[in-house]
Each structure stands twice: as C-alpha cells, then as structure tokens.
C-alpha cells in the first residue's frame, strides 16, 4: 500500500492522468501505466501490469506535484509520511529555538522533523502544484 502523504507526481496527457516520475533529463518524464488492459502505444512492460513510457514534455499537457502540509502548535510543516496514528513532519518555520521547544529532532541546521499524533495536527491539506508548463511571469 502506498503512503497517502508521500510526495508524488502525475501528468495529464490528452485528458488522461498518469503516475509520473521525473528523470535526469529535464525535458523528459516517465509515465506509468498500471492496468490490466493493454497500454497505449509507446509503453514498455517493466513488470506484470506495469508499463513505462519515456515521454518528452512537449507531448504532455501538464506535470503536477502533490504534497501535504499542516500546522502543529501554530507552526508550518510539510507532511512526509504516515506513521499510523501519527504523521512524520518536516518543519518549515526555520526557527531552531522554536523547533527545540516543539520537541522536534534537529537533524542539522534548518532541518527539524518530528512524529506528531494526528489528533494534534491542524489544517492538514493536500496541495497540487503544476510544475510544468512553468507559469510565465510578465515583467
């Protein structure tokens, strides 16, 4: 089973949604077809009922990143994993004394995490961000 709070990517192509992986080539994404039905042309079988297609961005309508965010005791966090009755959180506040006050693990400067009971987490939300095409900002 997939962790629902894990960051993930998907692409839209011709009105269809595909699980997506970014590649080292900034102009190509990998689209995944996970279905018992035969895939569309261009997909290669990599496992039973799993097919992959290396796809130029020019053939993709949009690429999206899905992440989860929340607040704990008024501070901002990114949710990184489900731990049953708790969530693994990554602190976004950048305030090391506050992170220590919250009882977080300081992994290195500006990096603090903690496993927090779900009952204590507020404003849990999924954020879907279009990462391609990039929005053009006019000057």
1: pLDDT strictly greater than 60: no
pLDDT tens-place string over residues 103-116: 999 988 889 999 99
Phi-psi region of 123 (alpha: psi -120 to 50; beta: other; left: phi over 0): left
| Confidence at 137, pLDDT banded by 50, 70, 90 | low
**pLDDT for position 40:** 85
78: pLDDT strictly greater than 80: yes
CB contact at 8 A, 116 and 72: yes
CB contact at 8 A, 129 and 63: no
pLDDT tens-place string over residues 14-55: 999 999 999 999 999 999 998 778 788 899 999 888 999 999
Residue 104 has, within 13 A of its CA and on its CB side, a CA count of 30
**pLDDT for position 27:** 96
Instruction: Give the domain ranges of the chain.
Output: 8-64, 65-132
127: pLDDT strictly greater than 70: yes
């Amino acid at each position: 089973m997939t962790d629902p709070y894990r960051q993930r990517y998907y692409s839209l192509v011709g009105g269809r949604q595909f699980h997506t992986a970014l590649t080292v080539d900034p102009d190509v994404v990998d689209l995944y077809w996970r279905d018992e039905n035969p895939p569309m042309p261009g997909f290669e079988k990599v496992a039973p009922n799993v097919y992959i297609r290396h796809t130029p961005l020019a053939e993709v309508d949009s690429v999206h990143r899905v992440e989860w965010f929340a607040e704990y005791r008024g501070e901002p966090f990114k949710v990184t994993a489900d731990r049953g009755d708790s969530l693994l959180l990554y602190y976004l506040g950048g305030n090391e004394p506050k992170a220590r006050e919250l009882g977080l693990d300081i992994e290195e400067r500006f990096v603090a995490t903690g496993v927090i009971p779900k009952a204590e987490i507020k404003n849990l939300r999924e954020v879907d961000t279009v990462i391609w095409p990039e929005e053009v900002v006019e000057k």
